[in-house]
Amino acid sequence: MVDALFAEPRLAAVYDALDPDRSDLDAYLAIAEELGATRVVDVGCGTGTFACLLAARDKSVVGVDPAAASLKVARRKPGADAVHWVRGDATALPALPALRADLATMTGNVAQVFVDDRGWDETLAAVRASLRAGGWLVFETRDPGSQAWRHWTHEHTYRHAEIPGIGRVETWVELTSVAFPLVSFQTTFVFASDGATLRSQSTLRFRDRNEIAGSLERAGFRLEEVRDAPDRPGLEMVFLAVRAER
């Protein structure tokens, strides 16, 4: 089940305004160019920011996400008509005719939503099936060693925004449990227009470099490189894996 954060229409509608700095996507755009990718699948595309950036660079793009409310936001963005939006998880991809993508991406720590190994392994298998021979999978995940959850407090995460047509919205995150490798937190949203308070519960899975490397190998990928995320040095690992032929 997808977190309310992404699936509840009122919350999906404020996702971009509350997290407007998407300089994290610059590294992914650069990697897409570096790899010479023209056909890209963005898995867990959410509100579609990265898919639209790719389409603006004349890439042929499929954006897939199970959250209908987030896709609705995505479809309204400038340039969204050039993207093929699919509601579902990665297992919906192999059914698309002749996808044969050069590159599959998972930005924004999508890889951490897969709390059990089965869901993660199925996702990797489906992504592999959507790639051409020699196609790439590029994604990030927070390094468990940096213990990012220690900063998931009201003090460190409080934000607010004045959103046209919606009004002032405040939000913050609070850690609810650490049962490593699972970490749970609650995100609160307060809407000034009607005083509504909405809460979303999330659990993320932290996998270390070796665990990710093993899962990629089992799924039929060859891990080529692990990079630091330039905008979050030391906090996240960006994996670049290539589809291996068996």
Ligand X SMILES: C[S@@+](CC[C@H](N)C(=O)[O-])C[C@H]1O[C@@H](n2cnc3c(N)ncnc32)[C@H](O)[C@@H]1O
Task: State the residues that interact with ligand X by CB under 6 A.
Answer: 2, 6, 43-46, 49-50, 65-67, 70, 89-90, 107-110, 113
CA gap 185, 176 in Å, rounded: 5
For the chain, the residue count is: 246
Helical pair 117-130 and 209-219, crossing angle rounded to 10 deg:
50
Q: For residues 2 and 35, which CB has a smaller minimum distance to ligand X in the complex?
A: 2
- Smallest separation, CB 28 to ligand X (Å): 9
C-beta of 70 vs 130, nearer to ligand X: 70
Instruction: Report, in Å, the least distance between residue 2 CB and ligand X.
Output: 5
Rounded to a whole number of angstroms, the minimum distance from the CB of residue 40 to ligand X is: 13
Closest contact distance (angstroms) between CB of 173 and ligand X is 12
Comparison of 44 and 144: residue with beta carbon closer to ligand X: 44
Nearest residue (CB) to ligand X, 193 versus 201: 201
- Minimum CB distance to ligand X, residue 46 (Å): 3
Q: Give the shortest CB-194-to-ligand X separation in angstroms.
A: 25
Nearer to ligand X, 24 or 192 (CB): 24
CB atoms within 10 A of CB 132: 14
Which CB atom, from 239 or from 245, has the smaller least distance to ligand X? 239
| Residue 72 tokens, joined | 């609705």
